[in-house]
Structure 1
Amino acid sequence: MREWVPVPGSTRGDLALAAVREFAALGYAGVAVTDLATAAGVTTGALYHHFGSKKGLYRVVRDDVERRVLDRMEGAAQARAEDGPAAAVRAALLVGFDWASGQGMARLLAEPHPGRRADPGADPVAELLAGISGGGVALAAVLVSAWRAALWLTTEGTPANDARQALAALRLDLPVSPGGQPSGPVR
């Protein structure tokens, strides 16, 4: 459950909503503290008071957007779970891509997080791949990196449909599903 939901009209809420728009459009490095304050109609002091720093505001925004996309990815994976882990992973990646690109969050979710090394998207994918010979954790990291790369392509002018097709073209040859049944390739 989310710790905090932005309330429109509150200083903290206005800053968070402006930050979503600014970071989604320009990325972390492309936005200055003064840009964020101006977009929210507040002072830079208000930003520092409520979030401590630009990175603190980014963390709140990024964590919220990642939670939203991961919720959708987990739902898609659950819907395809009976078809095996390869189908569940593929559904999760495509639904996550569709949501992120459709909501204008491709840049925000594709860029590296300036304050974090671990990728929160890899954990749910690794859980789906648990029991796969060859290491589900490493495969999850590679797949989530491909997902983020497909999102990044859209920020550089590649049509979303082309990037989605590239992501959909990934073939997962998984030798064994968690239930011990051969899962076979999923296209």
Structure 2
Amino acid sequence: MREWIPVSTSPKGRLVLAAVKEFGARPFEEVTVAELAAAAEVTTGALYHHFGSKLGLYAFVRDDVERRLLDRMEGAVAATGAGAGRSAAVTSAMLVGLDFAVRENFLRILGDPPPGAGPDRLAEMLARSAVPPAPLLGTVLAAAWRAALTAIAGGARPEDARAAIAALRLHAPDDELRAL
């Protein structure tokens, strides 16, 4: 359970909301501390006070956005059901996640791999969804999913990215997933 929920009227909450918007639409390197502070109507000192650094704010926001993504994707896996097969469940999860990222404009923040040496929770979730669990498959699928988001952020049509992800199912029937 979450310890703190940002309140949009507090300086910390406004920083989080500004960061979600900016990091969702632009790469981390292009977003400046001054821009974040100005968008939140706070000083740069407030950003450092609450998050320690731009990377600290990014990590906080990414964690929140990624949790929302994974909730939706895990729900899609569960909702697809055993009768449809694990390949269909994984594809469904990836499509639900793509739609969420596009709708919320989280293309950049979710299109990049997680910062640092921490775990890749998306890859782990996708690996667990395969039968039997396949860590390398999760890594490959997460990379393909992130590449689709990056392509959309670069101007590709979301429909084309959806079609590319849906095509992955054609090349990974359940028997092949079990073999991995």
Which TM-score applies when normalising by structure 1?
0.88
Runs of 4+ more than 4 Å apart: none
Q: CA deviation at 1:4?
A: 2.0
Q: CA deviation at 1:177?
A: 7.4
Q: CA deviation at 1:49?
A: 0.4
CA deviation string 1:28-65 (max 9, x = no partner)? 11101111101100001000000010000000100000
Which TM-score applies when normalising by structure 2?
0.91
CA RMSD of aligned residues (A): 1.8
CA deviation string 1:135-159 (max 9, x = no partner)? x111111011111111110011001
CA contact (8 A) 1:131 1:176 kept: no
Question: Tell me, which stretches of 5 or more residues in structure 1 are unaligned?
Answer: 183-187
Cα separation, 2, equivalents of 1:27 and 1:145:
17
CA contact (8 A) 2:85 2:174 kept: no
Amino acid at match of 1:105: F
Q: CA deviation at 1:176?
A: 7.0
Q: How does 1:68-147 map to 2 (within 5 A)?
A: 68-82=68-82, 83-131=84-132, 136-147=134-145
Residue 42 of structure 2: SS of its match in structure 1?
coil
Partner residue, 2:4: 4
CA contact (8 A) 2:122 2:142 kept: yes
CA contact (8 A) 1:89 1:125 kept: yes
Count of paired positions: 176
Cα separation, 2, equivalents of 1:145 and 1:9:
36
Q: Relative CO higher for 1 or 2, CA cutoff 8 Å, sep ≥ 6? A: 2
Amino acid at match of 1:125: L
CA contact (8 A) 1:24 1:107 kept: yes
Cα separation, 2, equivalents of 1:141 and 1:177:
14
Q: Identity across aligned pairs (percent)? A: 51
Residue 115 of structure 2: SS of its match in structure 1?
coil
Task: Name whichever structure is richer in helix by fraction.
Answer: 2
Q: CA deviation at 1:117?
A: 4.8
Partner residue, 1:156: 154
Amino acid at match of 2:50: H
Residue 104 of structure 1: SS of its match in structure 2?
coil
CA deviation string 1:110-165 (max 9, x = no partner)? 02333345321011111111426xxx111111011111111110011001111111
Change in CA separation of 1:17 and 1:116 when aligned onto 2, cut-off 3 Å: farther
CA contact (8 A) 1:100 1:106 kept: yes
Change in CA separation of 1:176 and 1:111 when aligned onto 2, cut-off 3 Å: closer
CA contact (8 A) 1:84 1:177 kept: no
| 94-103 or 122-131, larger mean C-alpha shift | 122-131
Partner residue, 2:36: 36
